[in-house]
A and B are shown apart, each in its own frame.
Chain A
Amino acid sequence: MNDNISIKAEGLAKKYCKSLKRSMFYGMTDILKNIFGKSSAPGLLRKDEFWALAELNFEIKKGETVGVIGGNGSGKTTLLKMLNGIFWPDKGKLSVDGKVGALIEVGAGFQPLLTGRENIYINGAVLGMSKSEVEAKFLAIVEFAELGDFLEVPVKHYSSGMFVRLGFAIAVHSDPGILLVDEILSVGDEKFRNKCQNRIDELRKKEVTIIYVSHDLMSVKRLCSRALWLKSGEPAFFGAADQAVNAYLDSLNADYNRELAGKNKQAVIHRSGTGEAVIRKAEFSGGKYVFKTGDDMLVDAECYSEKGVKNPLFGAIIHSSSGVYIAGTNSSTGEKLEELKGKVNVRYVFEKLQLLPGNYFLSLALHDEEGRRIYDLHEQSYEFQIAVSAGEKVPASSGFMKLNCKWEYKG
């Protein structure tokens, strides 16, 4: 393997077995075959086996920070475990050049009855540090973990934050050449997260290769030069982090859209009203149910009145998924329809939607000019979603609405 390559995967694949009993049986037969010097034919699938990871080919350069993204069960953790040498491939070849340190559920192997001091030595040894290394870094570990008077206290009395801090401190002081990070930054308070982030930045400057697994796509964009998007165990995209995240988000939005389309089709319309005029059907224009903040949202409604109603108004209300009233409007401020008689198609155009990411429900109403007589009301019957926008570095607004505010400074 080339000297400036840190990790190389060639046709890498890993299989699992769905049945525990069968897995035990396969385990025994594989061991027996290996004992007698025979291959267990790991590249073939047996009954109840499936590929948890398949056909992975990539090279990661030394000092590079690469993100791994994908939904639950996409194979991210399996890949990290293979890079860490915990799981071995069933197909292909994986070459890893460098001492691997893992920030995956830090503190594994801590003995709760023993003190912080004792656990530093034990965990250090488990992570591959020598006695002299642990002794040389002991004070730095204690300082990083902010143990204070708790150094001589059994770790079972530690808060969950202290426990993670200690585990993280030992792991990052083990001088890894390759660091595997799995959602660790989502643990602990803001101060701890900043500290971890700074430490990871220091390691990046020292040219440590970092494999960063996270559902926080913004941090993947910020930290990583490239990213691998895994989908159902297979590589869907490997390239620039920006492109990988955008491709993943587009795919997620398409999934959400499909899901919402199904939900809206099956949704029961909660109706009330006099029935003099009705909304026969309504749907999101173009089958688009997922939007971004600032997008236009179009809803097409087919309205009908047998006898006819004069000056009808078309109303709309948006509720959050938890039922909080967000905003309402009606056609009194726009172009009015003098009479609704027979069939009329109405398009609601919600311009530059200022809603923040989340799921929302739309109610549609048809009522008289004063709003006293409700002809037809479809209450919270249409669900749509505002998706996370990949471009924002820091969420600028909170709550439900984006506030467009300017700041002027004088003096």
Chain B
Amino acid sequence: MKRYLNTYEPDNCLKQGYFPMFKQIAREIIDSKWLIYQLFKRDFSAAYRQSIFGILWIIVIPVIGIAGVFLLNRSNIVNIGETPVSFLLYAASGLAVWQIFGIGLVSATSSLAKAGPMIVKVNFSKKSLVISAFSQCLAPFLVLFTVTLILCLVEGVKATFFTLLFPVLLLPLILFTLGLGFMLALLNGIIRDIASAVSVLATFLLLFTPILYAAPKTGGYIYAVRYNPLYYLISVPRDALITGAPGHLYGYFISALLSLLIFCVCITVFHITETRIAERI
């Protein structure tokens, strides 16, 4: 029979050492798979339960965004630049990958604060809350990914080895977003301004990162793109999907390592400090 022996002491985690702590984190996440799924299902079902159009709303916002930029480009107000495929496919695929970061980060950040009443009454895995909230990006991602696949078929894009690697190439972006999500959820639990700031920042990053326009090849802005890890984490999987030949693999590799580092540091910090969440939230 499983023995549940818990010892609670101040600064408990610090006494354990890092290796047992990582093992504990991994065990907790594995043990909470079903809880994560239930929390995801709860939020997803509740979001669309009292709506007539339901899940259709997921596609409305990206379509308006794509149409807006397309029209601005046609009117010569905004210069999209030269995209490797049609603008529609370029924007849809970029936005599909962006959902993982944009929606995932915003949802994860507010996850703990939103669940405040539950956190102070029931003891359960807080990591599950952040992961399930991050998973809310799945639906919009899958919808736009399906649109992208249809457009790829229509435009006759050929699959290559890199196309098949698409799910693997997304992993660094997932780790990057989840890592930041853990940290920001924690901070937002204490200071509620964080969630508002993240929403604004996400909108800014969507415009700042070449997703709805081609990466510039000249000018000072090229440096801002070059040192933006998000650009590599989004453009490489996207290009693998729509061109089959992604560039900037070196930048992507460095960004992937950075993502892994951010994820490990942030989840460790979250684990060490999550015991303080309930009393501060």
A residues with a Cβ closer than 8 A to B are: 1, 16, 23-24, 27-28, 30-31, 34-35, 37, 39-40, 42-43, 81-82, 84-100, 102, 104-105, 108-109, 111, 113-114, 118, 121-122, 125-128, 130-131, 154, 177
Contacts and interface: CB of A to CB of B under 8 A. Distances in A.
Interface string B177-205: 00000000011001100000000000000
Interface stretch (B36-44, B134-142, B213-221, B241-249): B36-44
Contact of A99 (B4, B49, B186): B4
Nearest to B124: A126
B29 to A, nearest CB: 14
Is the interface on chain B under 10, 10 to 19, 20 to 34, or 35 or more residues? 35 or more
Given A86-B119, A122-B38, A128-B124, A40 B11 contact: yes
A37 B35 CA distance: 30
Contact of A122 (B39, B50, B276, B280): B39
Contact of A31 (B3, B9, B115, B186): B186
16 contacts: A1-B5, A27-B280, A30-B273, A35-B273, A85-B123, A93-B7, A95-B5, A95-B7, A97-B3, A105-B121, A108-B118, A108-B121, A109-B115, A109-B118, A126-B124, A131-B34
A85 B10 contact: no
A28 B122 contact: no
A122 B121 contact: no
A362 B269 CA distance: 65
A177 B4 contact: yes
A118 B45 contact: yes
Interface of B: 3-14, 34-35, 37-39, 41-42, 45-46, 49-50, 115, 117-124, 186-187, 190-191, 269, 272-273, 275-276, 278-280
B8 A43 contact: no
B10 A88 contact: yes
A131 B37 CA distance: 11
Contacts of A91: 10
Given A24-B191, A108-B117, A113-B49, A81 B6 contact: no
Contacts of A35: 269, 272-273
Contacts, number: 138
B148 to A, nearest CB: 31
B42 A34 contact: no
Contact of A95 (B6, B117, B118): B6
Nearest to B2: A99
Given A109-B118, A118-B42, A23 B280 contact: yes
Contacts of B280: 23-24, 27
A31 B14 contact: no
The residue among A86, A89, A126 with the most chain B CB atoms within 10 A of its own CB is A126
Contacts of B122: 84, 86, 102, 108-109, 126-127
Contacts of A96: 4-8
Nearest to A171: B122
Contacts of A86: 119-123, 278
Contacts of B50: 113
B9 A24 contact: no
A81 B120 contact: yes
Contacts of A154: 49
B39 A34 contact: no
Interface of B is mostly: helix
B132 to A, nearest CB: 10
Contacts of A82: 8
A98 B124 CA distance: 15
Contacts of A97: 3-6
B264 to A, nearest CB: 13
B3 A88 contact: no
Contacts of A95: 5-8
Given A35-B269, A84-B123, A91-B10, A111 B276 contact: no
Given A39-B11, A94-B9, A122-B41, 7 more contacts: A34-B11, A35-B269, A81-B120, A97-B5, A108-B118, A130-B34, A154-B49
B261 to A, nearest CB: 14
A278 B10 CA distance: 67
A133 to B, nearest CB: 10
A35 B6 CA distance: 23
A31 B269 contact: yes
Nearest to A13: B10
Contacts of B121: 86, 102, 104-105, 108-109
Nearest to A178: B4
Contact of A111 (B46, B187, B269, B279): B46
Contacts of A42: 10-11
A108 B118 CA distance: 5
A125 B33 CA distance: 10
Contacts of A39: 10-11, 14
Contacts of A31: 186, 190, 269, 273, 276
Contacts of A93: 7-9
A242 to B, nearest CB: 31
Contact of B8 (A88, A102, A126): A88
A121 B35 CA distance: 9
Contact of A126 (B35, B117, B272): B35
A102 B35 CA distance: 18
A114 B7 contact: no
Given A98-B4, A127-B124, A131-B34, A81 B118 contact: no
Contacts of A92: 9
The residue among A95, A102, A128 with the most chain B CB atoms within 10 A of its own CB is A128
